[in-house]
A and B are shown apart, each in its own frame.
Chain A
Amino acid sequence: GDSVTQMEGPVTLSEEAFLTINCTYTATGYPSLFWYVQYPGEGLQLLLKATKADDKGSNKGFEATYRKETTSFHLEKGSVQVSDSAVYFCALRDSGGYQKVTFGTGTKLQVIP
């Protein structure tokens, strides 16, 4: 079945540091890929998406590129802020009918001033 593997956290960075959170996936067909973010005490919200190979999703300074050859969708940001502290989930939606989404286990990011 489908699966998503992302790097374990927590990740602790200083403000303005470069962020990479690794994500790899296993899926049949041509899945869509997502990054969701969960701020403390809240539900998940979509951060960015990519629906086909070589697409780059971007939002709020975060970027991720859909790499079919390496089955990866790594999240990057050039300069993190304290307000980026949250848990980040990589996810995929299979190309089947009912939009089932498989989530990774989440990576907690803490940014210190």
Chain B
Amino acid sequence: NAGVTQTPKFRVLKTGQSMTLLCAQDMNHEYMYWYRQDPGMGLRLIHYSVGEGTTAKGEVPDGYNVSRLKKQNFLLGLESAAPSQTSVYFCASSFSYEQYFGPGTRLTVT
């Protein structure tokens, strides 16, 4: 039982490049979330999903897209990376009150 896993752990992008972050959970949770964590800002919700095939915008969705084609996977895409997207990205999943977090992806955009 791996819980929530994230791929990759680290990535460096140049401005304008694209990439996809993968989140996978093996707990059969309906709800999945993408957050970004920046110093002094706490965690801010980017997008979330309440079930397979559904997605919705969170607090800071601009510049990101998501897809939930399979229940266990939640993908976060950056179509044209910008330095402002340098951050640590966390995926989480939940069934009831507790959210289970992945280990994070540290992304640097130069």
In the complex where A49-B97, A51-B97 touch, is A43 in contact with B103 (Cβ < 8 A)? Answer: yes
Most A CB contacts (10 A, CB to CB) among B42, B48, B90, B103 go to B42
Cα distance, A98 to B95, chains bound together (Å): 10
Question: B34 in the interface, Cβ–Cβ < 8 Å?
Answer: no
A46, B98: Cβ atoms under 8 Å?
Answer: yes
Chain B interface category by residue count? 20 to 34
For residue B1, give the distance in angstroms from its CB to the closest CB of chain A.
Answer: 15
Which residues of A35-66 have CB atoms within 8 Å of chain B's CB atoms?
Answer: 41-46, 49, 51
For residue B80, give the distance in angstroms from its CB to the closest CB of chain A.
Answer: 27
Main SS class of interface, B:
strand
B 10-39 binary contact with A (CB < 8 Å = 1; else 0) = 000000000000000000000101000000
B 72-106 binary contact with A (CB < 8 Å = 1; else 0) = 00000000000000000010101011110111100
A98, B98: Cβ atoms under 8 Å?
Answer: no
Question: Which residues of the other chain, B, contact A105 by a CB distance below 8 angstroms?
Answer: 40-42
Chain A interface category by residue count? 20 to 34
**In this complex, what residue of A is CB-closest to B54?**
A98
For residue A90, give the distance in angstroms from its CB to the closest CB of chain B.
Answer: 9
For residue B70, give the distance in angstroms from its CB to the closest CB of chain A.
Answer: 19
B50, A98: Cβ atoms under 8 Å?
Answer: yes
A46, B50: Cβ atoms under 8 Å?
Answer: no
**In this complex, what residue of B is CB-closest to A105?**
B42
Question: B60 in the interface, Cβ–Cβ < 8 Å?
Answer: no
Chain A interface (Cβ < 8 Å from any Cβ of B): 32, 34, 41-46, 49, 51, 89, 93, 98-101, 103-106
Ordered nearest first, which 6 A-B pairs have the shortest CB separation?
A43-B101, A105-B42, A103-B43, A44-B101, A103-B42, A46-B98
